[in-house]
Each structure stands twice: as structure tokens, then as C-alpha cells.
Amino acid sequence: MGRYSSTRINSRTVRFYDRAATRITEVQAAMSPEEKIYTALNNAFTSNNTTVSVADTVVTFESISFATVPVGFPAVEKDDFTVYVNGIAAEIDAIDSITDDGSNVIITFNSNLNFSLDSDDEFMITGKLVS
């Protein structure tokens, strides 16, 4: 016979993620439409559908840029993106910078990548980007 009856009332009927869902709803209600769109944004661009140029350790995605960051949100950093080379995610340590020059996104790799980049490689970047 079990130690507890089947009619036992559990004082922990609310799970931690139930409370988290409530908090998320509260935060979303306080956000502007632009902030909601920004937080949900996660676009992907590849060398298959975007012009990409390669020069030594620099890869340039042409005609894309960072999405406009809403007031009060943190500035975009390289950690906010995922970069793939030939289908494999590049380590953040292998990337010196990801910058936006207004009309292009420029990724600068360093020697931690451990191989040379070639214009025949396939590149992809995901994150808060727009074309």
C-alpha cells in the first residue's frame, strides 16, 4: 500500500513554468507592437538567396542590415547571431565582429576558425536582420 492516499492535496499544485507563463504574459502586455515584433524577429539569410562576398577572413552579406533596436533594448552584439559555414555553426570565439554598415552585414572571422574561407563555401546568418 502506498504512503499517500489518492485524495491527498498537494500544496505545490502550481509548477514553476505556470508562473513563468503568467509573467511572460504580463511583460508582453506592457510591450509596444514594435517591441513585440522585434523580440519575435529571427530571420535567416544564406549565400543561396543573398549575394555574399568573401575576402580573406571577411564575409559580407549584401543588401541586409540589423533590425532597428527599440528604445531601452540592449545594443546588438555578435552573440545575438548564429553564423554557419557549410552547414556548421561557427563558434563565437572564431568571430571577431559582426557589423552593419547600413546596407551590408560584415562578419570578420579570426584564426580560431581553423580553416580558410572560400567563395564556394555556403554561408548562413540568423538573427535580428532585415533585407
pLDDT in tens, 42-65: 999 999 988 999 998 999 999 999
* Confidence at residue 3, expressed as pLDDT on a 0 to 100 scale: 55
* Confidence at residue 69, expressed as pLDDT on a 0 to 100 scale: 92
* Confidence at residue 34, expressed as pLDDT on a 0 to 100 scale: 87
* Confidence at residue 128, expressed as pLDDT on a 0 to 100 scale: 93
* Confidence at residue 99, expressed as pLDDT on a 0 to 100 scale: 93
According to DSSP, residue 124 is labeled E
Low-confidence ranges of the chain (pLDDT < 50): none
So where are the chain's domains? Answer: 38-130
* Confidence at residue 116, expressed as pLDDT on a 0 to 100 scale: 84
Report the Cα–Cα distance between both ends of the chain, in Å, rounded.
65
- Residues paired with 59 in a beta bridge: 54, 107
In Å, how far are 1, 24, 102 from 52, measured between CA atoms? 68, 38, 15
Give the global pTM.
0.75
